[in-house]
Amino acid sequence: MGARTLISGDFGVTVFFFLSGFLITTLMRSEFDRNGSVNIRHFWLRRALRILPPFYLVALAATLIALMLYPPGTVYAPAMTAEVLFYANYWGIYGINREAPGTGVVWSLAVEEQFYLLFPLLYISLQKLRVPRSGQAWLLWGLCALILAWRCALVMAMHADSTRIYLATDTRVDSVLFGCALAVWNNPVLDEPTGSPGLWKFLLLPAALAALLICFLVQSAVFRETWYFSIQGAALTLVFIAAIRFHTWPLFRFLNWRPVMFIGTLSYSLYLVHDVLFRAVARLWPQLHGWQRAAISLAASVIAAWAIYVLVEKPCARLRKRLTH
């Protein structure tokens, strides 16, 4: 069994969701601890300036590439409207999927943007009600359990297909909530560490890695549409704590390598451009071997992502800081 078969691409999306929930909730918690409040307008403004300019630039470029390289009718305007208005995940379930080739990956952005319209309001409410941090975490884990129950009902009682489960916000947002729960309680960045290094090295981290391995090995369709994402979220909670607290361990040391940090800096733009460029290269040079197309696409993606980072993301970051100071 190859690595690609063992570890499917959806695990990367789950990690992306978890990391997003953890980072953004950590920032909100830090702001509340510092100021006694969270400025919701500033939150949404920062989010818009972080996400929208690179995305709209890539969506426009992908549409122009499609008009030049692909047959007429390849791009369906309502599908692109769903992408730019961030309901592409539900359009992918119920609509006609003819977006600009390579932009289909942005369904995950739709999940996040829908989530972050509401979650800050919940977080602020919990602070105003003075719910203890442990209670906040248990509430978020309870929501994760409800989403698992909803997935089970959809699959086992309503016979929903895998696309409905995989793309919809109401069935995937628990992957973000697991990250949020870690941010509010036992946060490895903000809180005192719990458990000895030995406990983490010989019990908790191995258990988390074993749980992830089980997820990769079990091929049951029902399992992969129900418990699969929940087990991954719980396991990632432990893995993230260990990776941050014990970053010098050999298993995590590579995360501090400069090339890895560089890719992390470009990760958002890379995510946006990689499939667009891979498909464009395949369209332009179909005679090339697969590894040749992959190498050209990778190089082009890194260059394009770096350009977007320098010309778009960094100026927007300065603007965010100035407008929300």
Q: Which of 114-118, 207-211, 230-234, 253-257 is the least confident region?
A: 253-257
Residue 4 has pLDDT above 50, yes or no: no
pTM to 2 decimal places: 0.94
pLDDT band at residue 6 using 50, 70 and 90 as cut-offs: low
pLDDT in tens, 22-56: 999 999 999 999 999 999 999 999 999 999 999 99
Q: Does 196 or 3 have the greater pLDDT score?
A: 196
pLDDT in tens, 122-173: 999 999 999 999 999 999 999 999 999 999 999 999 999 999 999 999 999 9
Alpha-carbon separation of residue 243 from 194, 205, 231, 250, 257 (angstroms): 14, 9, 18, 10, 14
In the chain, domain spans: 6-195, 257-325
Secondary structure in 3-state letters for 64-131: HHHHHHCCCCCCCHHHHHHHHCCCHHHHHHHCCCCCCCCCHHHHHHHHHHHHHHHHHHHHHHHHHCCC
pLDDT in tens, 283-317: 999 999 999 999 999 999 999 999 999 999 999 99
Calpha distance 120→124 (Å, rounded): 6
Contact 88, 106 (CB under 8 A): yes
Q: Which of 135, 121, 246 is nearest to 185 (CA)?
A: 135
pLDDT in tens, 191-220: 999 999 999 999 999 999 999 999 999 999
Q: Does 4 or 62 have the greater pLDDT score?
A: 62
